[in-house]
Structure 1
């Protein structure tokens, strides 16, 4: 790991695109310790067992029909960076036709900020369900960033196998959501693309981003609720400690979290969870899963604050 090498990679940014993606990957990895990922056969089997157990428990609790992705990877931080560079590239693709003054300087700045974002997230992400938005393939993937899981379990002073299993349950809930809602991929991708195309036309269209935030509030809130309903052990201490971790850190870390939307994600967790708790209290877990039957069943902004309005609008069963 070398900050000098990271700066060198950014300084060498070149090409015709607004971001030099090869330089992004080099710079982000140079600034990030990859972490150790030597796994014994027992370790590998434990991850696989957690995913299988989560799949079966979540199927039973939610009554959703889904399977886990065929691609389940145990990664280090550099692996995660490589896996996500292409996603970042697809998202900003609508901006590639833009030409600005001082193109070389703009490319260097864009490369530096993107690399910094990837490097920061790679040091904090523990698991990721990746639907490969805007990609040409419909193959989804599931990642576990082993060094970050080890570090988080140590910092939180919790048993690693139990913590790993809890994170597996969270990520498999996302597989349940996308599996139960075949329309969800396109719904999210279309709103990302619409927002970025508006930027490319030098205008800001807030509606796609509002719809995206509303959908992600449902995605994250349902996942939070369902993982706790399905998890086969006590989780109160895990929930409390992880919530504290999400809001903690030194001032620089907190600034990065806010700039990268971590605060928004935390609000999605909390707001979405409160909505689904009210739905479950009224009708049960299976009824909450109706949200994935049709995009029209996503809660509106008003319904997120007033779940009874959603309950009145959405029928209990198909």
Structure 2
């Protein structure tokens, strides 16, 4: 049985923590049923401030960089960037991640934890029970992905990542798979069709462009392509075979395969 923990030291969020805890408990079986992935024995969620998220994420990225550069030959430019990675990650998390999706990190020894800034739920339009349920299904799915990968996909690797693994495609695949799961499992948790339209639209597009230089239109197209890949790939090979992608980085789809899932399915069966 999965042990669910939702912790907060923030004033005024005990009721939210209790609601998320209940949703997570109810979502475990539907997520496992839909994905074919086991949810880890322990799932820990922490409701934190943006500053606390930034500190934790910066520390996580420093650990991840240390892991990813092991055995690599770095250029002088890359070596000069290493000390700045943690600081940059911490700053970006404080300014931006507090307004975005919950952040999955590990402590370097396989202990997974999702950090969530409560105010980000309203900023992203997650302002109904149905949408909070959808969000918790995504959280559980990412924990299951990370556990299946042996902690490699947390959340998408660090820098400098070996380019042959397609760092960006890992992130796209993880997000798209969580989205695919939420569209199927959330209705099972609620025992009725979920209403997914927020009462007001989230307002992070300008922030994403200003802080990270993200083109919202390009981002929407990229996400749509990744979602289409997951949908077609799972239909072609089934959830069990699809889940091999989490444990074997060589199965991460290439750019061509993201556009043509049949190529990936053929390589998977080879």
Question: TM-score by structure 1 length?
Answer: 0.63
- What is the number of residues matched between the two proteins? 251
Choose from 39, 59, 64 the match for 2:13.
39
Map 1:37-186 to 2 at 5 A. Answer: 37-40=11-14, 42-67=15-40, 69-90=42-63, 116-132=91-107, 135=108, 137-153=109-125, 158-159=127-128, 161-182=129-150, 184-185=152-153
Map 1:158-307 to 2 at 5 A. Answer: 158-159=127-128, 161-182=129-150, 184-185=152-153, 189=157, 192-195=158-161, 208=163, 211-232=166-187, 233-235=192-194, 237-238=196-197, 245=203, 248-249=205-206, 254-258=209-213, 268-307=222-261
1-side partners of 2:124 and 2:156: how far apart?
A: 30
1-side partners of 2:150 and 2:174: how far apart?
A: 14
Contact 1:128–1:142 (8 Å) recurs in 2? yes
Q: Structure 1 306/240 Cα, relative in aligned 2: closer, same or farther at 3 Å? A: farther
Cα drift, residue 141 of structure 1: 0.6
1-side partners of 2:269 and 2:167: how far apart?
A: 24
2-side partners of 1:241 and 1:300: how far apart?
A: 36
Question: TM-score by structure 2 length?
Answer: 0.72
1-side partners of 2:208 and 2:154: how far apart?
A: 33
Q: Which has the higher helix share?
A: 1
Cα drift, residue 177 of structure 1: 0.9
Structure 1 portions without partners, runs of 5+: 1-35, 196-206
- Secondary structure, counterpart of 1:141 in structure 2: strand
Cα drift, residue 76 of structure 1: 2.5
Cα drift, residue 131 of structure 1: 3.4
Contact 2:257–2:263 (8 Å) recurs in 1? yes
- Secondary structure, counterpart of 2:99 in structure 1: coil
Contact 2:40–2:144 (8 Å) recurs in 1? yes
**Structure 1 residues 139-148 or 78-87, which shifts more?**
78-87
Structure showing greater radius of gyration is 1
